[in-house]
């Protein structure tokens, strides 16, 4: 009698009694049909079954199976797996245990402690501390310079500038909260955990609290720096820090609550209101600096409002944050995971210190969300078509101009604070950020050589065409900002020609810095690596953070030193030549190599190493 042996892997510990492990044999098998066993999950023991010639399956306990003779037929028959788990009542899951398990696994896989990582990278940490100390020094120098200015304009500027920054910070907080979540989950969590019948709130509660805490902390530091920069004493610095921190946390709580309702309109509305408030405050500073209006700010009133704002932040945090915590179960999994995916993409770019790539990810996401546009016919032919398309882009996406419009108030605000000497540097830094959204095409063409290759222009002409509209806007900005560089008080800071030149240099520095920012090559991981405390890094990685800033420093440096604007103009022309792609190091090397090869061939009569034969001169 031939017997087939079927073995099945153990799923759970074997039950104590053999009878409990015995699977039921279905009637079809008993009748001679295909054998099927049905086992409830609790009965998944290492069972061996033997099938007789009559098709009847009998079960044996593990001990009996092990006792089977070695020469028994070993032909493998796929086990019948019929456990749909339909009738299983799941046991309640205690979510904190799941989290603890994940934490334990993660810790088990770590190869280094945080302290060891910090020890290994002490050179980098030391460098960062030095940079932070330098920035801190610069802030306090600026503070003392700002405090020294005692004119009415300076007083108003000092009184209103923190409000501009506060409203701007709230706007950015809401924008970031809306884009990311603010409550997020990774793709893995979305797949493995959130699909399970667990209470999401228990998993996400600490996460939301951590986000609120991080936002409060970050905003408080920003508030303290801003208050220090504008020359406030310590008590007021603390008040501003608290107001900004608590306000930002309260608004993040609102965004989280809106996330539980799967809607964004309220957050968008509040975001726009704060954006407009920032613009209004900036416009007021400009108007006061220009002498168009006069304003008498009551510092006591301002302090009361700041304290009230902090109180409102606490109320918002408690109310919205509390409601959001109570409704965390309602957040859609897709919404949680989409924010997590975005963060994961941004983290990848952040590890490469590639801010451009981070922006690309956000731009792609925006485009995906928009999906469709009403197509428009292009304008002109040749390079004009590219310039025309840039204009049409601006018409379609006017939001890209918002930052540039805002940046126009910066030289006036800086002048109003009495920081005239730093005006070109600070304004150019703001312009660097403002021009980036206007150079989207240049960014794509630089990043994607395949797309650039489709156009019948050299790289230099292509770059100039894509930056032409931004250059026109920079010229307009320079004209409108010239009065700020001239000086708005009774005694002008500079002659009108010098002011116009300074404004032009500032605008050009901002534009060229933005061009450098969008067109800089990312770190090349195929080149030989540099050994650092944090491991091997590509040589260009550290410079990624400074791209753009270098152009601002180089071009506005001469103005800070009091040199002629013409020095900056000459530097600007060199920077333009380098950035336009007219100079390509690899191409130059290739051409040099080709020339060398041609010279060798000429010397060698066409073959490297062959003797050159010189024909005798012909006689007439």
Partner 1 sequence: MAKARIPVLKVSNLKKSYGDHVIVSNFNLEAWPGEAIALTGRNGAGKSTILRCLVGADRPDEGAIEVNGETLRESNPVIRGAVATVIDDLDFFPDLSVVEHLDLLARAHGLPDSDDAVDAILHEVQLVPQSGQLPGTLSSGQRRRLALATAFVRPRQLLILDEPEQRLDVEGVEWLAQRLKTERQAGLAIVMASHEPTLVKTVATKTIRVGER
By CB under 8 A, name the one of 587, 596, 602, 604 that touches partner 1.
587
Place of tokens 């940046």: 407
Chosen residue from 108, 235, 375, 616 binding partner 1 by CB under 8 A:
375
Return the residue of 25, 152, 455, 532 that touches partner 1, per CB under 8 A. 455
Residue 381, CB half-sphere, CA atoms under 13 Å: how many? 0
Instruction: Establish if 444 lies at the interface with partner 1 (CB under 8 A).
Output: yes
- Helix (H) / strand (E) containing 438: none
Does residue 524 interact with partner 1 by CB under 8 A? Answer: no
Q: 400 CB contacts (<8 Å, ≥6 apart)?
A: 393, 394, 437, 438, 440
**Residues in Cβ contact with 588 at an 8 Å cutoff, skipping those fewer than 6 apart:** none
Residue 508: which of 479, 486, 544, 484 has the closest Cα? 479
CB 523 within 8 A of CB 499: no
Per residue in 478-501, is it b (16+ CB within 10 Å) or e — as a string?
Answer: beebbbbbbbbbeeebbeeebbbb
Return the DSSP state at 87.
T
Range 530-537 contact pairs with CB under 8 angstroms and sequence separation of 24 or more: 532/121, 532/123, 532/124, 533/120, 533/121, 533/122, 533/123, 533/124, 534/117, 534/120, 534/121, 534/124
In a 3-state reduction of DSSP, which class is residue 605?
coil
Instruction: Give least dist CB 363 to partner 1, A.
Output: 6
Of 12, 396, 399, 596, which lies in the binding site for partner 1, with binding defined by CB under 8 A?
A: 396
Interface mask toward partner 1 for 143-182; x: CB under 8 A: ----------------------------------------
Per CB under 8 A, 450 contacts partner 1: yes
Residue number with CB closer to partner 1 (96 or 378): 378
Q: Decide: 37 and 57 in contact? Cβ < 8 Å.
A: yes
Site membership for partner 1, residue 206 (CB under 8 A): no
393 vs 421, beta carbon nearer partner 1: 393
- If the CB atoms of residues 16 and 449 are measured against partner 1, the closer one turns out to be 449
Binding residue (CB under 8 A) for partner 1 from 127, 330, 590, 592: 590
Residue of the chain from 198, 447, 540, 557 that contacts partner 1 (CB under 8 A): 447
Does 601 participate in binding partner 1 (rule CB under 8 A)? no
Would you give the binding string for partner 1 spanning residues 343-372, x where CB under 8 A is met?
--------------------xx-xxx-xxx
Q: Is 374 in the site for partner 1 (CB under 8 A)?
A: yes
Q: How far is the CB of 377 from partner 1 (least distance, A)?
A: 7
Q: Does 584 bind partner 1 (CB under 8 A)?
A: yes
Contact flag: residue 69 with partner 1 (CB under 8 A) = no
**Nearest residue to 183 via CA among 166, 200, 165, 163:** 200
In the set 42, 347, 458, 601, which binds partner 1 (CB under 8 A)? 458
Determine if 378 is a binding residue for partner 1 (CB under 8 A). yes
592 binds partner 1 (CB under 8 A): no
Q: Least distance from C-beta 174 to partner 1, angstroms?
A: 23
Q: Which of these, 371, 386, 425, 396, lies nearest to 549 by C-alpha position?
A: 425
Footprint on this chain of partner 1 (rule: CB under 8 A): 363-364, 366-368, 370-383, 385-386, 389, 393, 396-397, 440-441, 444, 447-451, 453-459, 461, 581, 584, 586-587, 590, 594
């Amino acid at each position: 009698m031939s017997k087939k042996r079927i073995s099945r892997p153990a799923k759970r510990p074997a039950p104590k009694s053999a009878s409990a492990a015995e699977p039921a044999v279905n009637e079809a098998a008993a009748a001679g049909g295909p054998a099927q066993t049905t086992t409830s999950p609790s009965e998944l023991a290492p069972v061996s079954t033997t099938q007789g010639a009559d098709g009847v399956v009998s079960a044996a306990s593990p001990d009996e199976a092990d006792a089977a003779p070695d020469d028994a037929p070993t032909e493998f028959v796929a086990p019948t797996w019929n456990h749909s788990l339909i009738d299983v009542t799941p046991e309640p899951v205690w979510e904190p245990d799941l989290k603890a398990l994940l934490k334990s696994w993660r810790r088990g896989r770590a190869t280094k402690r945080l302290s060891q990582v910090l020890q290994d990278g002490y050179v980098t940490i030391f460098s960062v501390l030095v940079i932070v100390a330098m920035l801190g020094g610069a802030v306090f120098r600026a503070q003392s310079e700002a405090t020294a200015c005692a004119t009415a304009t300076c007083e108003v500027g000092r009184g209103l500038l923190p409000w501009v920054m506060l409203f701007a910070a709230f706007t950015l907080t809401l924008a970031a909260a809306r884009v990311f979540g603010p409550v997020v989950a990774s793709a893995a969590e979305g797949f493995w955990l959130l699909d399970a019948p667990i209470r999401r709130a228990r998993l996400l509660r600490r996460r939301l609290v951590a986000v609120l805490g991080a936002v409060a902390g970050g905003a408080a530091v920003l508030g303290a720096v801003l208050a220090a920069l504008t020359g406030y004493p310590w008590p007021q610095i603390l008040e501003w820090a608290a107001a900004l921190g608590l306000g930002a946390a309260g608004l993040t709580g609102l965004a989280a609550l809106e996330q539980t309702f799967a809607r964004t309109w309220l957050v968008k509305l509040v975001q726009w209101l704060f954006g407009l408030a920032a613009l209004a405050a900036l416009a007021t500073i400009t108007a006061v600096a220009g002498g168009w209006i006069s304003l008498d700010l009551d510092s006591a009133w301002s302090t009361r409002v700041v304290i009230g704002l902090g109180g409102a932040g606490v109320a918002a945090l408690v109310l919205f944050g509390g409601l959001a915590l109570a409704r965390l179960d309602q957040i859609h999994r897709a919404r949680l995971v989409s924010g997590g995916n975005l963060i994961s993409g941004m983290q990848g770019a952040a590890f490469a210190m590639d801010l451009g790539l981070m922006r690309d990810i956000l731009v792609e996401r925006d485009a995906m969300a928009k999906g469709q546009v009403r197509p428009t016919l292009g304008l002109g032919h040749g390079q004009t078509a590219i310039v025309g398309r840039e204009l049409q882009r601006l018409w379609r996406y006017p939001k890209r101009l918002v930052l540039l419009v805002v940046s126009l108030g910066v030289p006036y605000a800086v002048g109003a604070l009495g920081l005239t000497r730093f005006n070109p540097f600070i304004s150019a830094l703001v312009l660097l950020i403002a021009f980036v959204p206007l150079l989207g095409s240049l960014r794509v063409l630089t990043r994607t050589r395949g797309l650039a290759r489709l156009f019948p222009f050299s790289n230099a002409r292509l770059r100039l065409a894509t930056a032409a509209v931004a250059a026109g806007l920079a010229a307009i900005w320079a004209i409108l900002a010239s009065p700020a560089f001239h000086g708005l008080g009774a005694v002008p800071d500079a002659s009108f020609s010098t002011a116009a030149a300074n404004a032009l240099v500032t605008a050009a520095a901002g534009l060229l810095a933005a061009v450098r920012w969008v067109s800089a090559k990312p770190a090349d991981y195929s080149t030989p690596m540099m050994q650092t405390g944090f491991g091997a890094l590509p040589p260009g990685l550290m410079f990624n953070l400074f791209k753009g800033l270098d152009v601002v420093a180089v071009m506005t440096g001469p103005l800070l030193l009091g040199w002629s604007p013409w020095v900056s103009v000459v530097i600007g022309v060199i920077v333009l030549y380098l950035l336009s792609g007219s100079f390509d190091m690899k191409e130059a090397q290739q051409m040099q190599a080709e020339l060398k090869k041609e010279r060798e061939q000429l010397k060698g009569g066409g073959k490297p190493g062959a003797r050159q034969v010189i024909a005798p001169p012909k006689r007439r």
